[in-house]
């Protein structure tokens, strides 16, 4: 999903956004069917790959469509509405899956997504005019085949391989394998060299990332959203393992944080982001709120904490995130020249997509390794040696509720320890991203151009005065 986002932006310029997003929904549906019918792990993973390819197109192209169809005054509210759609999907999907799992089984949870995806894709195909194109639509007279041949496939493949190797290593549940971790930088170097020297139309214009404002905004978004994904993935784990909630109730814990996400984006988009210009300080303020909520989350992820305070904290956390994503996009448009807005926003969407993969894999690896070490250590302290139970607890938070006595106490404490480590790490990362975002600056591209021109005029004037003095 993260690696193929940029390529989908290019495909939208060849086939139009309407066709590209419909094809993406078809691929997503195919992926869910393969996953639901899988009889072995490898087949299941193939299904998830297809699902990710489809999701990449839906996520990327939907942002492009919204940006193309809205004015500067409407853009903040429109992006807020789009983010609301994303976050409602996450909350409803998690809650529905938890409620349906005991009744229909995991296979039908995947198979049942296919008709929903196809219905959504058909609705988009019928509702988007066939004449609608992106601002970067390829208007050459080349055939579709020739335009497809020009796409940066080597860049897409090398970027995908680099990301897979990195996440495979850092997401390992026990020990980090070194070989894929060492190979990842080499494949990434291949990607960069291809983008700079070989590709005629690179999927990620490396030269554009020389802009300090764009580069730091993209990097800040990756780190910030990685911490956000820790909340989305592991607050339900806390509810199941530590609180012994049912899967449906655990999924429902995402409702307040996603409701906050939607409200935060809509409020700042509808009330504040109604103009072009700098949003430097509002962006830093909401960026700074989020790591505070993460620290509180780490402290509250215990068996006897106040549940309503926990819900309030994740509500505020979601609100800060929703507002932050709206503000940093609006500020990015201020920092970059208007002629580059299309590419800049596409890059921001791409890096935001990276964060989901990085957050789930890297955060999951950290959590699993901490949980494994804690379970092994505490069981040993109580004279219990049961490697099979440790492995089962790593994969099933719900198993904690079926344990009794010392085993249950150890499991709960180990989960608390792993969750605390994860959320504190997320808080540290999010706090660092405040500094990264601060480095973007508050001066827009036009202001910097005017300053450079003024400096050049001043230098020319000084040089002219110096020549006059020499003649005198």
Q: Which of 274-288, 324-338, 351-365, 431-445 has the lowest mean pLDDT?
A: 351-365
CB 268 within 8 Å of CB 329: no
Average pLDDT over residues 23-28: 95
How many whole angstroms separate alpha carbon 79 and alpha carbon 82?
5
Span 27-53, pLDDT tens digits: 999 999 999 999 999 999 999 999 999
**Architecture of the domain defined by 211-441:** Up-down Bundle (1.20)
Write down the pLDDT at residue 128: 87
Q: Which tens digits make up the pLDDT trace of 279-290?
A: 999 999 999 999
Burial label, 127 (beta-carbon count in 10 A; 0-12, 13-18, 19+) = exposed
- pLDDT beyond 80 at 173: no
pLDDT of residue 472: 60
Whether the per-residue pLDDT at 135 is higher than 70: the answer is no
State pLDDT tens for residues 432-467.
999 999 999 887 766 655 555 555 566 666 666 665
**What pTM was computed for the model?**
0.76
List Cα–Cα distances, 145 to 18, 140, 141, 149, in angstroms: 19, 12, 11, 6
Would you say residue 353 has pLDDT above 80?
Answer: no
Rounded to 5 degrees, φ, ψ at 172 are: -60, 135
Residue ranges of domains in the chain: 1-128, 152-202, 211-441
Residue found by looking up tokens 């300053």 in the block: 451
CATH topology of domain 1-128: Growth Hormone; Chain: A; (1.20.1250)
Contacts of 429 by beta carbon, 8 Å cutoff, 6+ apart: 223, 224, 226, 227
Which band of pLDDT confidence, cut at 50, 70 and 90, is reported for residue 255? confident
């Amino acid at each position: 999903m993260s690696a193929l986002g940029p390529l989908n932006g290019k495909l939208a310029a060849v086939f139009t956004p309407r066709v590209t997003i419909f094809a993406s929904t078809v691929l997503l549906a195919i992926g869910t069917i393969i996953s639901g019918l899988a009889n072995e792990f490898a087949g299941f993973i193939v299904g998830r790959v297809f699902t990710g390819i489809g999701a990449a197109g839906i996520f990327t192209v939907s942002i492009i469509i919204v940006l193309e169809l809205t004015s500067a005054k409407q853009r903040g509210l429109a992006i807020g509405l789009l983010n609301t759609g994303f976050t409602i999907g996450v909350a409803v999907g998690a809650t529905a899956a938890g409620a349906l799992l005991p009744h229909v089984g995991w296979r039908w949870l995947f198979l049942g997504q296919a008709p929903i995806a196809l219905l959504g894709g058909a609705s988009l195909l019928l509702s988007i005019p066939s004449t609608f194109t992106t601002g970067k639509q390829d208007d050459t007279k080349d055939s579709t085949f020739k335009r497809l041949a020009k796409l940066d496939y080597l860049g897409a493949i090398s970027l995908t391989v680099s990301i897979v190797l990195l996440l495979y290593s850092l997401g390992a549940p026990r020990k980090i394998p070194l070989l894929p971790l060492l190979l990842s930088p080499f494949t990434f170097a291949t990607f960069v060299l291809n983008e700079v020297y070989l590709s005629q139309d690179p999927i990620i214009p490396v030269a554009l990332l020389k802009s300090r404002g764009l580069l730091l905004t993209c990097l800040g978004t990756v780190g910030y959203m990685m911490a956000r994904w820790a909340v989305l993935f592991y607050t339900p784990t806390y509810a199941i393992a530590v609180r012994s909630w049912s899967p449906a109730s655990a999924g429902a814990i995402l409702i307040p944080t996603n409701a906050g996400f939607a409200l935060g984006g809509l409020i700042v988009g509808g009330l504040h982001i109604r103009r072009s210009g700098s949003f430097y300080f509002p962006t830093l303020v909401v960026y700074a709120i989020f790591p505070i909520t993460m620290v509180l989350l780490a402290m509250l992820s215990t068996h006897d904490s106040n549940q309503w305070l926990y819900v309030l904290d994740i509500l505020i956390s979601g609100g800060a995130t929703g507002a932050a994503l709206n503000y940093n996009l609006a500020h990015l448009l201020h920092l970059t020249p208007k002629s580059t807005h299309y590419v800049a926003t596409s890059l921001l969407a791409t890096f935001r997509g990276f964060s989901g993969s990085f957050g789930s894999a890297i955060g999951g690896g950290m959590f699993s390794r901490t949980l494994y070490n804690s379970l092994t250590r505490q069981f040993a302290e109580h004279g219990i040696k049961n490697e099979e139970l440790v492995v089962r607890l790593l994969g099933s938070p719900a198993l904690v509720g079926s344990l009794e006595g010392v085993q249950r106490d150890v499991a709960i404490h180990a989960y608390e320890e792993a969750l605390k480590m994860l959320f504190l790490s997320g808080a540290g990362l999010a706090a660092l991203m405040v500094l990264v975002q601060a480095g973007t600056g508050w001066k827009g591209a036009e202001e910097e151009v005017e300053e450079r021109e003024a400096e050049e005029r001043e230098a020319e004037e000084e040089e002219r005065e110096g020549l006059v003095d020499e003649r005198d």
